[in-house]
Copies of this chain bind each other. A is one copy, B any other.
Amino acid sequence: MAALASADQLAAARAVRAAYRSGVSEPTSGVAPGLTQANLIAVPADWAFETLLYAQRNPKPCPVLEVIEPGVNALRVNERRVNERGQIESALAPGSDIRTDIGRYRIWRDGELAAEQTDARDAWEEHPDLVAFLIGCSFTFETGLAEAGIPIRHQELGRNVPMYRTNIDCAPAGRLRGEMVVSMRPIPAGRVADAVQISGRTPAVHGAPVHVGDPSSLGIADLSRPEFGDAPDVREGEIPVFWACGVTPQAAIMASKPPFAVTHAPGFMFITDVPDAEYIV
């Protein structure tokens, strides 16, 4: 694996992280195209094993790209690099700070959404033992879909992707349980197979769809009313295609009620420096 981001891509990634750090907030579909995007869930150390186990048992919605433990600002092979600037840095994005570089965070208390904010440093001050998990995001393969001429409707409309809770229960892990969350993209019927194959090449960012074409069998009663993100626009001749989504840990938080957690807001992802090609198998 030796995919390298271009200088332009790296500059774009740094620029958007700096903008989000300064308070800018936007859904990130289509932002910094060609780079890997990630979901965040951070939990107190007492919940870290179960969270990692939940991800291990549910790799389709929860593919782990990186784990950042307390007291260690960036981990690489054979290297424990403590960032002298006091940042909690992702190894996937040198110079980043996972507490500030996402556009919008969610703070969870006892399974309830307690706040949305553009900076999460106070959460790490309150819980210095937070363990952060970066989980693959389907926005990563949207670049490949677009390059193949497959329309990305929510990008065209300047909206967030629609996301839904489903009736698919994830495998539990200790105190953690919950259902799978999916993202949906309307795909022209003649391009569904292409979308399956293109996304299927990158299992670390959810891979191939979990479902094609029948919202009701996923327990989705009304496609026009997603639980997360914006309403879809499915046109004549298009099929709703559903991918496992990294918001699934947020459904687990709601169902399992850990005392505290921090996540990104759905659609507002962490932008890394890692090219999407890095995760093609």
A169 contacts chain B at the CB level, 8 A cutoff? yes
Residues of B within 8 A of A49 (CB): 45, 48-49, 52
Whether the pair A171, B53 counts as a contact (CB closer than 8 A) is no
Complex Cα distance A226/B53, Å? 34
A80 contacts chain B at the CB level, 8 A cutoff? yes
A281 contacts chain B at the CB level, 8 A cutoff? yes
Residues of B within 8 A of A69 (CB): 53, 174
Least Cβ distance of A140 to chain B in Å? 19
Least Cβ distance of A262 to chain B in Å? 18
Mark A127-156 against chain B: 1 for CB-CB distance below 8 A, else 0: 000000000000000000000000000000
Residues of B within 8 A of A75 (CB): 57, 171-172
Whether the pair A77, B169 counts as a contact (CB closer than 8 A) is yes
A76 contacts chain B at the CB level, 8 A cutoff? yes
Whether the pair A53, B52 counts as a contact (CB closer than 8 A) is yes
A67 contacts chain B at the CB level, 8 A cutoff? yes
Smallest CB-CB separation from A47: which chain B residue?
B49
| Complex copy number for this chain | 2
Whether the pair A67, B53 counts as a contact (CB closer than 8 A) is yes
Q: Chain A interface residue count: which class?
A: 20 to 34
Complex Cα distance A80/B170, Å? 13
A83 contacts chain B at the CB level, 8 A cutoff? no
Residues of B within 8 A of A48 (CB): 49
Whether the pair A67, B77 counts as a contact (CB closer than 8 A) is no
CB contact under 8 A between A67 and B56, given known A48-B49, A49-B48? yes
Mark A19-48 against chain B: 1 for CB-CB distance below 8 A, else 0: 000000000000000000000000001001
Smallest CB-CB separation from A177: which chain B residue?
B78
Complex Cα distance A53/B78, Å? 15
Residues of B within 8 A of A174 (CB): 69
Complex Cα distance A80/B56, Å? 17
A239 contacts chain B at the CB level, 8 A cutoff? no
Q: Which of A48, A49, A52, A69 has the most CB of B within 10 A?
A: A49
Complex Cα distance A163/B145, Å? 44
Complex Cα distance A57/B69, Å? 13
12 further interface pairs, Cβ-Cβ under 8 Å (given A49-B52, A75-B172) = A45-B49, A49-B49, A52-B52, A52-B53, A52-B56, A53-B67, A56-B56, A56-B64, A57-B67, A57-B75, A77-B171, A78-B171
- Which 10 A-B pairs rank lowest in CB-CB distance, beginning with the nearest? A49-B49, A77-B171, A78-B169, A48-B49, A52-B52, A53-B67, A56-B64, A52-B53, A49-B52, A69-B174
Q: List 14 A-B contacts (CB under 8 A).
A: A48-B49, A49-B52, A52-B52, A52-B56, A56-B56, A56-B64, A56-B67, A57-B67, A57-B75, A69-B174, A75-B172, A77-B170, A77-B171, A78-B172
